[in-house]
Amino acid sequence: MNSFLSIKDVENLPGLVKDALEIKKNPNMYKELGRNRSMCLIFLNPSLRTRLSSQKAAFNLGLNTAVLDVGSQGWKLEFEDGIVMDGDKAEHIKEAAAVIGSYFDVVAIRAFAKLEDRAEDYSEQVMESFKKYCPAPVINMESSTGHPLQAFTDLITIEEYKTVERPKVVLTWAPHPKALPQAVANSFSRWMLEAEFDLTVTHPEGYELVDEAVGNAKVEYDQQKAFKDADFVYAKNWSSYHEYGKVLSTDPSWMVTSKKMSLTKNGKFMHCLPVRRNVIVEDTVLDSDQSLVIQQAANRVISMQTVLKNILEGLK
């Protein structure tokens, strides 16, 4: 693996999952792989899980890390070409990415969607610019349109807890007071389809995801119908793709409740976290044995460690 920007960088998904499950059994098995190597974690946005799980994954591989919070510590970056830089942005991505890549063996970046201009967000300008100008392999720690490390984590977790070969997985929209990106939902859908699970996506009308993410998943506008006989329910809020970045509904009747979970086949509840209790999901679900959110978050170390292991093995 050279870089990890999306599922397109994964050549053999079952092989990657197998690697992850082996690493989980023995997290220190590749302790020498990162010796005398280093990784820079660049954050343009906040994080708890991604930041700490990435550092822990690196630690398990003997890999040193440095963290740069661009917002508070770095120069404000310019991504446009041919621009007169007389505004508030002091450094161009061409220099910044080249310099960081000269210091480190691997560079990981988090840069959320701005939700102002769909074409700009869906061009993945930040991630693509790093890939173009950084000589080191690049890892996506959540970009404008995808969160592949989270989706890989989710796949590992489902593989661990599934009781049938091809589980029914439901991705449900849930209400949230703020406009959130589509990144987690896009990647979750893509990875579930690639794993050939039986995927249903449910949301109010107007919240249709981009076609490439939904593929041949079933789209069901009746949430309760969607939940019927589900093995896994994955809740996430996202803002509208078609009326880009808009909050079209905060309808509380879309919150995941114990009553709705009773429609499933004793299904498991999943969410990437952070989650707003009693907005996205009721306490009674999160605090029940049906919830896998902590196990999921723990697997963030495993997904990053597996990706890093594959990238480090490819370094000369």
List contacts with ligand CP (CB under 6 A): 47-50, 142, 150, 272-274
Nearer to ligand CP, 60 or 303 (CB): 303
CB of 148 closer than 8 Å to CB of 7? yes
Q: For the chain, give the number of residues.
A: 316
User: Which of 27, 37, 99 shows the shortest CA–CA distance to 68?
Assistant: 99
CB of 237 closer than 8 Å to CB of 185? no
d(CA 148, CA 36): 27
Report the C-alpha dihedral over residues 168, 174, 178, 179, rounded to 10 degrees.
Answer: 50
d(CA 226, CA 16): 30
Nearer to ligand CP, 168 or 190 (CB): 190
Q: Report the nearest approach of ligand CP to the CB of residue 103 (Å).
A: 23
Q: Report the nearest approach of ligand CP to the CB of residue 111 (Å).
A: 13
CB of 129 closer than 8 Å to CB of 42? no
Q: Report the nearest approach of ligand CP to the CB of residue 304 (Å).
A: 11
Report the C-alpha dihedral over residues 9, 312, 44, 51, rounded to 10 degrees.
Answer: 110
Nearer to ligand CP, 33 or 41 (CB): 41
Q: Report the nearest approach of ligand CP to the CB of residue 288 (Å).
A: 21
Nearer to ligand CP, 195 or 272 (CB): 272
User: Which of 217, 188, 180 shows the shortest CA–CA distance to 296?
Assistant: 188
DSSP string, 111-165: ----SS-HHHHHTTHHHHHHHHH-SS-EEESS-SS--HHHHHHHHHHHHHH-SSS
DSSP string, 12-29: -HHHHHHHHHHHHH-TTT
User: Which of 316, 302, 309 shows the shortest CA–CA distance to 1?
Assistant: 309
Q: How many CB atoms lie within 10 A of CB 177?
A: 10
Nearer to ligand CP, 49 or 168 (CB): 49
Nearer to ligand CP, 272 or 308 (CB): 272
Q: Report the nearest approach of ligand CP to the CB of residue 79 (Å).
A: 22
Mapped onto helix, strand or coil, the DSSP state of residue 246 is coil
Q: Report the nearest approach of ligand CP to the CB of residue 292 (Å).
A: 13
Q: Report the nearest approach of ligand CP to the CB of residue 84 (Å).
A: 35
Q: Report the nearest approach of ligand CP to the CB of residue 249 (Å).
A: 23
Nearer to ligand CP, 33 or 272 (CB): 272
Nearer to ligand CP, 33 or 180 (CB): 180
